[in-house]
Amino acid sequence: MQSQKLSALQLDLLNMYSFQPKEEDLLAIKAMLARYFSGKLQENIQKAIEKKNITEADLDRWLDE
- Listing DSSP states for 14-63 in one string gives HHHHTT---HHHHHHHHHHHHHHHHHHHHHHHHHHHHHTT--HHHHHHHH
Per-residue model confidence as pLDDT tens digits over 9-65: 899 888 877 888 899 998 998 999 999 999 999 999 999 999 999 998 998 999 999
CB 48 within 8 A of CB 54: yes
Res 18: pLDDT: 84
Res 2: pLDDT: 67
Res 16: pLDDT: 79
What is the pLDDT averaged over residues 1-7? 80
- Global pTM reads 0.66
